[in-house]
Amino acid sequence: MNELLIASMMTMMTAATPLVFAATGELVCEKSGVLNLGVEGMMLIGAVFGFAAVTLTGQPLAGLLAGSLCGLVAALIFALLTLTLLSNQVATGLALTIFGTGLSALVGLDYVGETIEQIRSIHIPVLSDLPVIGRLLFGHDPLVYLAIIILALSGWFLKPTRWGMILRAVGDSEVSAHAIGYPVIAIRYAAVAFGGAMAGLGGAYLSLVYTPLWAENMTAGRGWIALALVVFASWRPSRVLLGAILFGGITILQLNAQAAGLGIPGAFMSMLPYIATIVVLVLISRDAIRIRLNAPACLGKPFRAER
Amino acid sequence: MLALEARATQSASAAWLSPLLAMALTGLTGAAIFLAMGKAPGIALYIYFIEPLTSWSGLSEVAVKAGPLILIGIGLSVGFRAGIWNIGAEGQFIAGAVLGSAPAVVFYDSTNLLILPTMLVLGVLGGMAWAAIPALLKTRFNANEILVSLMLVYVAELLLVHLVQGPWRNPQGWGFPGTRMFPDAALLPMLFPGYRVHLGTLIALLIPLLAWFVLTKSRFGFKVRVFGSAPLAARHAGINNPRMIWATLLIGGGLAGLAGIMEAASTIGQLMPKISPGYGFTAIIVAFLGRLHPVGVALAGTAIAVTYIGGEGAQISAGLPKAVTGLFQGIILFYLLAFDLLTRYRLTRIGNKVSAT
Amino acid sequence: MKYFAKLASVLLAALLSFGVAYSASADKLKVGFIYIGPPGDHGWTYAHDQARLMIDNMLGDHVETTYVEGVPEGPDAERAIAKLAETGHKLIFTTSFGYMEPTLKVAKRFPDVKFEHATGYKQADNVATYSARFYEGRYVQGQIAAKISKSGVIGYIASFPIPEVVRGINAFMLGAQSINPDMKVKVVWVYSWFDPPKEADAAKVLMDQGADIITQHTDSTAALQAAADRGIHAFGQASDMIQFAPDTQLTAVLDDWGPYYVKRTVDVLMGTWSPGDTWNGMGPGMVGMAPFTNMPSAVAMMARKTAESIRTGAFHPFTGPIYNQAGELVVAAGEVAADFPMLATMNFYVQGVDDKLPE
């Protein structure tokens, strides 16, 4: 049983990792006041280009770079439209998802059925061999650690650093931030680009590590879950990891219950993360002061500097 | 150097010009993609955009596909005008289909003529009920309606899957998920023999006219416009904030629910694990492409439907993969959204000399 | 392969003798296909597309094939099928269960077009149905698994609780029990035919719970790869997936639709097509086995022997005595389960399956 518990926790951790990547990126993006609903599309773009790069070069690192870079480029299209050309963020984000789904399927046609060398879990002598905690702490694939590091860095960046405070100021009150002289648009461009790179990385994790293959629409809604996760975490990086394990883990728990012969837990268990997100949203929103502390006030609103 | 200057009113000529420009650029981009794939661009573009409109069956299919998009798009555009961002129409569509189908599932051999009207009413109520949740949480707890309505999409999808795999599964269906086929009395009548255009399509095409009338001629329409453009002024004018939120969400949800039950009770004829190929999300784009104007929404819904039908034709007669359709839709949307700018802003030249920056 | 060659020569001879008048006309017969997934899925749709290519190869002078991929079950299916019929396709294969009602609806509108619907149970004057006895291959897999497994626990990833899948689980169990009566099969339902990450999750969970052989009734290669990552043996699905798990794939049940598709196409060319239901197994070559790899040669030999006796009809996987989970005798000793209703509508587990069949 102990062994099963450890194994399940390891599996849940890998299920959470793509969500951590994508949600961290979206969190920073939303903190700057931009709501990008194109996460699913950017993840798919990251997944297919990451896979293609590994197929062509044989280098896992090239795949990760290509995945995040292409996610970033896709995000820049979104930024150009919403920030420079002032299109509606909701509509543009949805368009980005449609675009990403189509583009990835088209690019992926040549890569369906290809195989690549999977990125393996690390093994640190001594540490990884420790009982229980050895595997839990030191037995994952390298990207699990990268996800946590990026999450922690983002948390640190958003709190005490000068640029982090500027980013939050831009998201909370773009007009005053502009009046003070901060480059609102440039900062938002950077935040959106970071969001795209992270979503691309999350997608590449799926196609390079999670299931080393490319299949059309393989993200299967994880981009949307990442969006829910940001709200669930009430825009606080410290809660993203917990939420990701919960959101990613619930599928694993369900499958475990089935394999153990407990029967199908039913649709209601699958609904739980979404209902929990709504409950959290209600709890943080009813308190006007707390919502102001966390949720970016200008989320989704276009901004154009008046001359 | 060029700069943007806000227009006092939306430019009428730009409103027509920008979709045309977007179409032209999409055509060019599409031609480049087709060339790269080794297909003759002219033929491919013809198959995509013209061929669906050259036959009665093509027109009928375009209308069938456009119906739900227009219906949902109209409902959403009312909310968007008032600044209420309901993006969960997909969930409201499903909720409407589920509640509306209940009579057909329970009385599966009914011949009672009242069953169909009952279903349509229940469909509207189902969509409204689903939209009432974000309305309640927004007015009572200030919860963001974008996120609440989005989360409810997944809840609705899971609920539908649960029903068609469990309690509502067809006992004669060999265990496959899905309800029984609806009885004839529970199906919307077809309009022309041999074509799939049905009464629901007709209703969907009439709703824009109704919406146009309400939005331009009624007091409610005036309130919606004021509320959207200037919430503060609206409050001074005595337009009640919670009531506006409730009204627009219920309209959006009700129309999405109606679209849902009309889809289930016509072309599908039963409930299945997946009943919408993303109509609720596509309709958001339709609403924006149509500039939140009823006539625009009807045109935009038709245009998007054409690309779906054309994409299928391109697979059959040009051997183009399905993925191209998705890519194409994305590109069209990008261009349209980009040129949308021209309707609200004008390009002006500032300074006397051309600056390098 | 030998079978194909023989079939091909017979069919071509038939064509040459009967089809002279036909081949004189410039018009080729257009044959259409509706696919649920992409042809590159390496599973269900891939197998159908391979069969389509076989028509192209063998009858290319007389026939032209077209396919529409990724057609969702629902209103879009009816339109896509109708579109094929409108564009002059005279024989249309609809290759997923959910196309049943749309196929029948379109068939009514186009009485001179012949329709072939895979895995369905409703026929019409111009609608035939066909399906394969994949359970024959699964019995062989069960035997192999019981020989190879050390933990005595096998993980089974299942899609939907429909008769075809339940039949597969039962045949697998019966095969395993024929070697080791105490074998355990753990079943996980993923409620999808094609969802690579979820299939991989299911494989991981089953391995976490002690399964040391993974078998799947879903279409992607993800489960096989997840197993390979941990060095766990697994079975491929629908096509030979050896390239995805060169060191761990034991074998795969192959869908060979080719012979049937070619035969039905020739039937239409010669005007001898008639509706009906076809349910073929290893004998007529609709079900095959990928090479038996990564196992001791004694096990491979046994598997080959079992497959051969199923192919020749000497042995039927559902030969009694068979008990259900409640311990009731459902097939008497020495008897063989009837195609209808028992096999066709199978909705119970045989004794020993460690799962409760979802309602």
pLDDT per residue as tens digits for the range C146-203? 999 999 999 999 988 888 999 999 999 999 999 999 999 999 988 888 888 889 999 9
Let me know if residue B331 belongs to a domain: no
Range of A293-297, B106-110, C38-42 with top mean pLDDT? B106-110
Q: Quick one: pLDDT band at residue B348, thresholds 50, 70, 90?
A: low
- Nearest CA distance, C25 vs chain B (angstrom): 22
CB contact under 8 A, B137 and A103: no
Pick from B147, B162, B334: CB nearest A281:
B147
Average pLDDT over residues B296-305: 92
Distances from the Cα of A67 to the Cα of A62, A64, A198, A200, A202, angstroms: 8, 5, 9, 5, 8
Average pLDDT over residues C233-247: 93
Range of the domain at A9: 2-294
Range of the domain at B151: 40-319
C135-254+289-354 under CATH 3.40.190.290, yes or no: no
* Number of domains, chain A: 1
DSSP assignment of C299-339 equals HHHHHHHHHHHHHTTS--SSBSPEEBTTS-EEE-TT-B--I
Question: What is the per-residue pLDDT for B18?
Answer: 78
Share of chain B above pLDDT 70, in %: 89
Question: What is the per-residue pLDDT for C15?
Answer: 47
Contact B129, B99 (CB under 8 A): yes
Q: Where exactly are the structural domains of chain C?
A: 2-133+256-280, 135-254+289-354
Average pLDDT over residues C273-284: 94
Residues of chain A with pLDDT under 50: 307
One-letter amino acid at C49 equals D
Distances from the Cα of B2 to the Cα of A183, B5, B147, B346, B357, angstroms: 19, 10, 37, 10, 10
Per DSSP, C155 falls in state E
CB contact under 8 A, C354 and A218: no
Question: What is the per-residue pLDDT for C301?
Answer: 96
Pick from B175, B313, B322: CB nearest C163:
B175
Q: Do domains C2-133+256-280 and C135-254+289-354 have the same CATH topology?
A: yes
ipTM of this complex prediction, to 2 decimal places:
0.84
One-letter amino acid at B56 equals W
**CA-based nearest residue in chain A for residue C205:** A256
* Number of domains, chain B: 1
Chain B hits for C160, Cβ within 8 Å: 175-177
Let me know if residue A302 belongs to a domain: no
CATH of the domain at A48: 1.10.3470
CB contact under 8 A, C41 and A206: no
Let me know if residue A304 belongs to a domain: no
Residue from B268, B306, B308 whose CB has the most chain C CBs within 10 Å, to mutate: B268
Pick from B158, B340, B345: CB nearest A270:
B158
Pick from B3, B140, B337: CB nearest A91:
B337
C356–B contact, CB cutoff 8 A:
no
Chain C hits for A15, Cβ within 8 Å: 201
- Nearest CA distance, C162 vs chain B (angstrom): 5
CA B104 to chain centre: 25
Helices and strands (H, E) in chain A, number of each type: 13, 0
More confident residue, C116 or A102: C116
Residue from A44, A207, A258, A270 whose CB has the most chain C CBs within 10 Å, to mutate: A258
Average pLDDT over residues B39-43: 86
CATH of the domain at B46: 1.10.3470
Contact C248, C231 (CB under 8 A): yes
Average pLDDT over residues B327-356: 71
Pick from C69, C82, C121: CB nearest B315:
C69
CB contact under 8 A, C222 and A211: yes
Residue from C73, C164, C192 whose CB has the most chain B CBs within 10 Å, to mutate: C73
Let me know if residue A307 belongs to a domain: no
Per DSSP, A109 falls in state G
Beta strand C249-255 with C287-289 is antiparallel
CATH class of C2-133+256-280: alpha beta
